[in-house]
Amino acid sequence: MSENEKILPVVFGCSSTSILPEERQFFKEANPLGFILFGRNCDDPEQVRRLIMELRHAVGRPDAPVLIDQEGGRVSRLQPPHWPKHPPARVFGIMYEMDPEWGAEAMQLYARVVAHELFRLGITVNCAPVIDLFMEGATPAIGDRAISRKPAIVAALARLWAETFLTNSIMPVIKHFPGHGRLKVDPHHKLPIIDTSQAELESEDFVPFELLKDLPLGMTSHAIFTAFDPHRPASLSPAVHQDIIRDKLGFDGLIFSDDICMKALDGSPEDRAIGTLGLRLMARSPIARSAPLKPEAMLSCIAMENWRKCRPLPKRLSR
């Protein structure tokens, strides 16, 4: 078995600001693709750098991806006093609506600052930008995390955001496929159901995702879209993954599921993981469609191939 096949196509978090002995042993044995940091893991810059080194050392890969959600606004794992408080994405959308040149310049400057902050810590992937639409009356779970109600503005600013990250050696993740700005409930607590028609979704919500389909990483929603699969959330739906994300929207990058610990999903953590991993294998591998599902034998290779295909080469930070 090659080294690629031994890497588990999952991203794990840890419980605190340093790795516990049992976590270190678990990571060594499981050998996940990468790790994600939450607020509980981030105290000060030196501590974060040390934690990242410990995580990578546990799996023996100095280039293991480390993810974070540093969107700005209320979804920011790095907080004052050691890191600045950044505005939410909606601020840049409002600026762009008033003056496109002003909004675009502000977005580029903001993205460059965040990229510098993450790069200095050793973080390589930021789970941003959110390209869901800003919808009045929707749950605050999205709210000002969204850039604009207008799909073209969302796509324009998210393009600047993502490409500035890439220029500065940070991988962006567009989310939440195929567009869940219409959420009425928070998937952290309950399963959302979006019953908007296919025609309306295609003409509005899908547009930013289709315009940004060339970007390397994406994340799926835990909402049910009744127009495509009335029984399963997008993150667990083969129909949404293959028919919508891959075929309709044309996205060919690496797909992450949103956090499988959210209460929108039923079942044990193992059941949830198998569900998200299994459908990705079935959607991406012609072999898997005609053979028994064996994630341990094949999905790790697919995940690693996609990761290596999209990972940027080290560059100097732009000034």
With CA atoms as reference, report the closest residue to 180 among 123, 124, 237: 237
- Catalytic annotation, pick one of 132, 205, 229, 258: 258
Whether 258 is catalytic: yes
Burial of 66-104, coded b for 16+ CB within 10 Å and e otherwise, reads: bbbbbbbbebbbbeeeebeebebbbbbbbbbeeeeeebb
Type and span of the H or E element at 22? helix 21-30
With CA atoms as reference, report the closest residue to 288 among 243, 254, 277: 277
Contacts of 12 (CB under 8 A, 6+ apart): 27, 30, 32, 35, 36
With CA atoms as reference, report the closest residue to 30 among 17, 12, 18, 14: 12
Q: Is 57 exposed, middle or buried (0-12, 13-18, 19+ CB in 10 A)?
A: middle
Contacts of 148 (CB under 8 A, 6+ apart): 90, 93, 96, 97, 133, 134, 154, 157
The CA distance from 239 to 122, in Å, is 36
HSE, side-chain direction, 13 A CA sphere, residue 3 = 4
Whether 241 is catalytic: no
With CA atoms as reference, report the closest residue to 281 among 300, 267, 265: 300
Distance separating the N- and C-terminal Cα atoms of the chain? 43
- Catalytic annotation, pick one of 116, 188, 243, 252: 188
The CA distance from 183 to 237, in Å, is 18
Backbone Cα Rg of the chain: 19
Expressed in percent and rounded to 5, the helix, strand and coil fractions of the chain are 45, 15, 40
Which is it for the CA torsion 268, 274, 276, 277, positive or negative?
positive
Residues designated catalytic: 188, 258
